[in-house]
Amino acid sequence: MSGYVLRRLEPHFAEILSRYEAGEPFDTIAADHACAGSTVRRLLLGHGIELRPTKWQLRARA
């Protein structure tokens, strides 16, 4: 994948971040921006955002 989709999402970064911090999953946010959940994840990681633990990571800690 080229960086086109990530560049297209850049102007919406503040909205995406606030929705993610409010607890919305990647796929829900991505559906509103016509991309994949993994693209939203890459955008957040590219900005140095610490991601919530996944349900699998939480199970591994228990």
Domain boundaries, the chain: 4-61
What number is the average pLDDT over the span 49-61?
78
Q: Express each pLDDT in 2-29 by its tens digit.
A: 589 999 999 999 999 999 999 999 999 9
55's enclosing H/E stretch is helix 55-61
Beta carbons within 8 Å of 30's beta carbon, 6+ residues apart: 36, 37, 39, 40
Q: What is the pTM of this model?
A: 0.84
